[in-house]
Structure 1
Amino acid sequence: MITATALLAILLGVGVMVPLALGLPLLLLVACASKRLRRAMPRLFVIAPVPALLAALFDADAGSFELGNDLFSLSFSLDVPGAMLLGAAALLWILSGVYAERFLRDRPEPDGFIVCWLMALTGCVGVFLAADLIGFYFLLAVLSVGASGLVLQGQGPDAMRAGALYLALALLAEAFLLAGLILMANATPDGSLLIRDAAAALPESPTRDLTVTLLLIGLGMKAGLVPLHFWMPLAYSAAPIPAAAVMSGAVVKASVIALLRFLPLDVAMPGFGHALAVVGLFGALYGVVIGITQRNPKTVLAYSSVSQMGFVVAVIGMGLAAGDGTTPMAAGFYATHHLLVKGSLFLAVGVVALTGRRHLWPMLVPAAIIALGLGGLPLTGGSLAKYAAKDLLGSGLAGTVAMVSSIASTLLMIQFTRRLGENTASDARARAPGPLVFAWIAMALASLVIPWLLYVDFPLEALPKALAPAALWDALWPVLVGAVLALLLDRFRSLPRVPAGDVGIALGGLKGMALAAGAALEHADSFLRRWAVACVVMLVVTLLFVWALL
């Protein structure tokens, strides 16, 4: 008997949705050249990610296509971890699009937001689909520009500063990444630019250590690893709610899929793997320590992302150290759960801010449940995600620190729930608009249900083992300890407030030096561009070239 899902897949055609997933948002972005069409785009925000969702459902490990000719082409395809992340990201873009469309009704000049939204969507879908080095790098650049533009759509000088910082660090990270990709391409046999071929050739590359170092620096910055994490709390706090939701949930996962695809995870690299795990676990704890001092619920969530991304990177690091081929599935599953939950919670911040205290609890209780899922609350997707990563982390020091991280995440999420409840509308009877509530509730339900569906569909581990009493207790007791610590912290101690951006604030003292250096370089450039000086420089360079030849 043919099921409804199989029938739909036959009607659509295997592989058809992969090109449409990238093509539709790109087409809408190009259509924004017309002002009349651009103003109609918010109504299409919901439709633009639908092909990506269908591609994730039907084309994993099957759909692929090439764009170009024999001289040069770009390749796109899906693997299972990529399909998990793409599907969850597409759903988040759809429901955040519902929120964004309602949000833009009150903005007199929505054009900048519209263009940046579609640019970020195109880049986000593209990085999950890209199968070659050039396509990935190009689409990552598109994603970075679009995301920085979304941050700039916030209000006031904080948004300008956060957007500029986001773009600057994104470009710096991409410079490291570009150098690593060039070395990967150079070491790949037969001149192949496919990511799978480059990753397979990496262990035998003569520049392996330098290549991996460059990749980890660039992608670590993109992932928000400490100490180059400070762009994350500044950007997420300044961005409008729908932009912060997709950035914290979907956009940052570009670094995760890149690590899973570029690193040869079936080959043991203990040095790099353990170093990556140490940095990741340190960030997992550091994000909580700074996050519990924050007052703004968006900022608390941003530091939670620093913590959770550190944990995901630690899982990948331990898998790289052991050469464990199951790493992509476990890390991809954990990242997918974080994508769903973090997107949901940012939408919750926007909805609660428009809700009065009389109608607060129906909004606050679901937010608290899925927030505690990040700490591993039993029967949530978070407990499944942590169980899936348990074997990779092991029972040694990494496993112990991971358990402490679960306690710390619970503490931070209780802090978030408390701050969220303080961030309500001034009118006690106020209700958030229906489309915003729908987007939030639908995303909250998805974050609870989808991890279970994924766990059943993909062979991560036998489900009865994850539901065994011992496994449930292992998930529950860190949550209980975190709750007790939150109670004690709230009752007996007042924490100092650390400015959002922490390390980035300290670097603000370098602003004067940077401006002075920029002015000096500008004067030098003006001097060198004078006709007489340029001629002399050209003559000197020519003479040196002749001398080198002789």
Structure 2
Amino acid sequence: MNTAQFLMAAAVGLPLLMLLACASARLRQRLPSWFALAPMPALATAIGARGGDPLVLGESRFALHFALDLPGSLLLGTAALLWIFGGIFAFHYLRGRKNIDGFVVCWFMAMTGCMGVFLAADLIGFYLLLAVLSVGASGLVLQGAGPDARYAGALYLGVALLAEAFLLAGLILLAQATPGGSLLIRDAAAALPHSSSREMTLLLLLVGLGMKAGLVPMHFWMPYAYGAAPTPAAAVLSGAVVKASVIALLRLLPFDNAWPHIGIPLAALGMFGAFYGVAIGITQSTPKIVLAYSSVSQMGFLIAVIGMGLAAGDPGTAAAAAYYAAHHLLVKGTLFLTVGAVAMSGAGSLRLVRVPTALIALGLGGLPLTGGALAKYATKELLGGGLAGSMAVASSAATTLLMLHFMRRLNAMPNTDSDARTPVPLTGAWLAMVLASLVAPWVLYLDIPVGTLSGALAPAALWSALWPVIAGVALFIGWNRWGASMPSVPAGDVGSLLHGLHRVWREAGHVTGLADALVRRWSVSCLTLLLAVLLFGGLLMVAG
């Protein structure tokens, strides 16, 4: 086993070892101190194992394969950073709590699945690790307080299982079309364009992965889950966990071939989600819910980028989309951790938080000289200068509006103690994430084959990034003046319909239970059986 293989084994193996150690009640109480240590092999893997020999576990046809390509290294490395510093927040969150078992188990389960999906190179391993990730993530949502967390966790798991049913069907068709019975993802993706069921396969994959990405209209689980989950859990869910769908799309879709009949509708649906998330998000008053709708918007934009790349048959889509996703991972994770830091800080500390938070938040809208501007520039060629390009510019202004609204709601958060100070370890972890959000995109940009740094810093590029942000500021001023009286949309929007039907289903279940108890009585059962026999006999006589 060489260095690259050892690193890949440790990236998945250490979180898995911690998960197995949870079987001991004694160890389980001590494992939160490993929250920040367990992701470090994954960070080392992202830096030093790309392009190395794949890791193969097992010798049969169903052996598990792990490998690291460029999109995987971008997402694995940034995800590891978020898990490290989010783990410090999670450790502090659990201090003083008596019942921490569920959180600890689900944290390591979600971490194992998250690191695994970025490295999985075969269909079976990817699906297995994705299932582990889904169960762990839904368990983290359940660690929130009250009935809202129970409902959100059940909804998250239900949507995840439904999405994985579509995904499994697509993966089966994909495996059947792969020559030689290979289960490697690269072989399956290469065989897809020649499959007789390629349209159905693509549809199943896009539906399943679109649901996991929060693509409108199957986005409603995001506000419920991110709003109910504890803040450190919401940070890793919104930043790292949701990117499992992105890496799957980038590895499974055939970007070497042009598929406009599928790519254009996918891009249109994604761009609709980009604006829909902003439209609902600006009506929300809770910072975590605002960030949840921002994720709906940003994932929609990312899906639009992938759709345009699929329509054009552009192999550079994978690198550009992975880079955009990596930037979003860092920024969104940092903003959720900011909400947690502000909640335990006084007014004096809040003043120190505002400037760096505003800088990285506005970066999502493409503020010049931020990683967000580089991310927008990296996807500009894919979107082109037509309608899609114009919509992308408008989405930058809309994102700026939503992020300014987030900053206003963050400033309005109540503080229990005006003199409170965030604990030093949490302050350090938050500052590290802020620094990573600001610096890492510049470092990563030099590693992707998309554009040049001089082109991104050209005056024309800087102006094209600046004026949508200015337009977003103008929209925010207008919204404060004329839009404040508009009614608030319930968190979950279309999902609130399901919440209402929940009561109906519960009552229906109660009535069904009473009916079942009645029917199971001996006298009623006998009478029912007798009537059924008489009816069946009468039908036979008529037929004769």
Normalised-by-shorter TM-score class: over 0.9
- The secondary structure found in structure 2 opposite 1:15 is helix
Query: Contact between 1:45 and 1:97, CA under 8 Å: does it hold in 2?
Result: yes
Query: Contact between 1:357 and 1:424, CA under 8 Å: does it hold in 2?
Result: no
Indicate which of 488, 495, 505 corresponds to 1:497: 488
State the match for 1:119 in structure 2.
109
Q: Distance in 1 between matches of 2:509 and 2:89?
A: 41
Give matches, 1:345-360, under 5 Å: 345-360=335-350
The Cα shift of 1:430 comes to: 1.2
The Cα shift of 1:514 comes to: 4.2
State the match for 1:186 in structure 2.
176
State the match for 2:133 in structure 1.
143
Q: Distance in 2 between matches of 1:261 and 1:493?
A: 42
Q: Distance in 2 between matches of 1:286 and 1:135?
A: 34
Q: Distance in 1 between matches of 2:417 and 2:510?
A: 51
Per-residue CA shift, 1:89-133, capped at 9, x if unaligned? 001000001111111103221111000000000000011011011
Q: Distance in 1 between matches of 2:126 and 2:191?
A: 18
Q: Distance in 1 between matches of 2:75 and 2:274?
A: 21
Please list every run of 5 or more consecutive structure 1 residues that lacks an aligned counterpart in the other structure. Answer: 1-10, 529-550
State the match for 1:487 in structure 2.
477
Q: Distance in 1 between matches of 2:334 and 2:362?
A: 13
Per-residue CA shift, 1:494-536, capped at 9, x if unaligned? 1311110000002334335544776799899x999xxxxxxxx
State the match for 1:415 in structure 2.
405
The Cα shift of 1:485 comes to: 1.0
The Cα shift of 1:182 comes to: 0.4
Please list every run of 5 or more consecutive structure 2 residues that lacks an aligned counterpart in the other structure. Answer: 521-544
State the match for 1:83 in structure 2.
73
- The secondary structure found in structure 2 opposite 1:324 is coil
Q: Kindly indicate whether residue 319 of structure 2 is the aligned counterpart of residue 322 of structure 1.
A: no
Q: Distance in 2 between matches of 1:517 and 1:126?
A: 41
State the match for 1:294 in structure 2.
284
State the match for 1:307 in structure 2.
297
State the match for 1:251 in structure 2.
241
Q: Kindly indicate whether residue 226 of structure 2 is the aligned counterpart of residue 236 of structure 1.
A: yes
Q: Distance in 2 between matches of 1:475 and 1:279?
A: 24
- The secondary structure found in structure 2 opposite 1:198 is helix
- The secondary structure found in structure 2 opposite 1:75 is strand
State the match for 2:498 in structure 1.
507
- The secondary structure found in structure 2 opposite 1:250 is helix
- The secondary structure found in structure 1 opposite 2:481 is helix
Indicate which of 411, 426, 429 corresponds to 1:439: 429
State the match for 2:213 in structure 1.
223
State the match for 1:5 in structure 2.
none
Give matches, 1:29-68, under 5 Å: 29-68=19-58
State the match for 2:355 in structure 1.
365
- The secondary structure found in structure 1 opposite 2:65 is strand
Indicate which of 92, 101, 106 corresponds to 2:96: 106
1:111 is matched by which residue type in structure 2? Answer: D
- The secondary structure found in structure 2 opposite 1:66 is strand
Q: Distance in 2 between matches of 1:363 and 1:114?
A: 29
Which deviates the most, 265-274 or 12-21? 12-21
- The secondary structure found in structure 2 opposite 1:16 is helix
Per-residue CA shift, 1:166-211, capped at 9, x if unaligned? 0000000000000000000011100000011111100111111111
State the match for 1:282 in structure 2.
272
Query: Contact between 1:18 and 1:63, CA under 8 Å: does it hold in 2?
Result: no
1:293 is matched by which residue type in structure 2? Answer: T
Indicate which of 204, 213, 234 corresponds to 1:214: 204
Indicate which of 467, 473, 494 corresponds to 2:457: 467
Q: Distance in 2 between matches of 1:71 and 1:236?
A: 39
Query: Contact between 2:166 and 2:204, CA under 8 Å: does it hold in 1?
Result: yes
Query: Contact between 2:320 and 2:448, CA under 8 Å: does it hold in 1?
Result: no
State the match for 1:539 in structure 2.
none
Which deviates the most, 68-77 or 206-215? 68-77
Query: Contact between 2:3 and 2:49, CA under 8 Å: does it hold in 1?
Result: no
Per-residue CA shift, 1:261-286, capped at 9, x if unaligned? 11111111101100110110000000
What is the CA RMSD across the aligned residues, in angstroms?
A: 2.0
TM-score (norm. length: structure 1): 0.92
Query: Contact between 1:113 and 1:153, CA under 8 Å: does it hold in 2?
Result: yes
Q: Distance in 1 between matches of 2:335 and 2:52?
A: 33
Q: Distance in 1 between matches of 2:291 and 2:317?
A: 26
Q: Distance in 1 between matches of 2:473 and 2:234?
A: 27
The Cα shift of 1:426 comes to: 2.8
State the match for 1:454 in structure 2.
444
Q: Distance in 2 between matches of 1:465 and 1:59?
A: 30
State the match for 2:419 in structure 1.
429
- The secondary structure found in structure 1 opposite 2:52 is coil
Q: Distance in 1 between matches of 2:309 and 2:51?
A: 22
2:327 is matched by which residue type in structure 1? Answer: H
The Cα shift of 1:372 comes to: 0.2
State the match for 1:263 in structure 2.
253
TM-score (norm. length: structure 2): 0.93
The Cα shift of 1:62 comes to: 1.3
Count matched residues.
520
Q: Distance in 2 between matches of 1:99 and 1:32?
A: 20
The Cα shift of 1:159 comes to: 0.5
Query: Contact between 1:354 and 1:424, CA under 8 Å: does it hold in 2?
Result: no
The Cα shift of 1:301 comes to: 0.3
- The secondary structure found in structure 2 opposite 1:140 is helix
Residues 271, 38 of structure 1: alpha-carbon distance in 2 compared, 3 angstrom cutoff = same
Per-residue CA shift, 1:287-308, capped at 9, x if unaligned? 0000000000000000000000
Percent of matched pairs sharing the same residue: 63
- The secondary structure found in structure 2 opposite 1:482 is helix
1:113 is matched by which residue type in structure 2? Answer: F
State the match for 2:157 in structure 1.
167
The Cα shift of 1:329 comes to: 0.4
1:325 is matched by which residue type in structure 2? Answer: P
State the match for 1:399 in structure 2.
389
Residues 132, 241 of structure 1: alpha-carbon distance in 2 compared, 3 angstrom cutoff = same
Give every structure 1 segment of 4 or more consecutive aligned residues whose post-TM-superposition deviation is greater than 4 Å. Answer: 512-524
Query: Contact between 2:62 and 2:124, CA under 8 Å: does it hold in 1?
Result: no
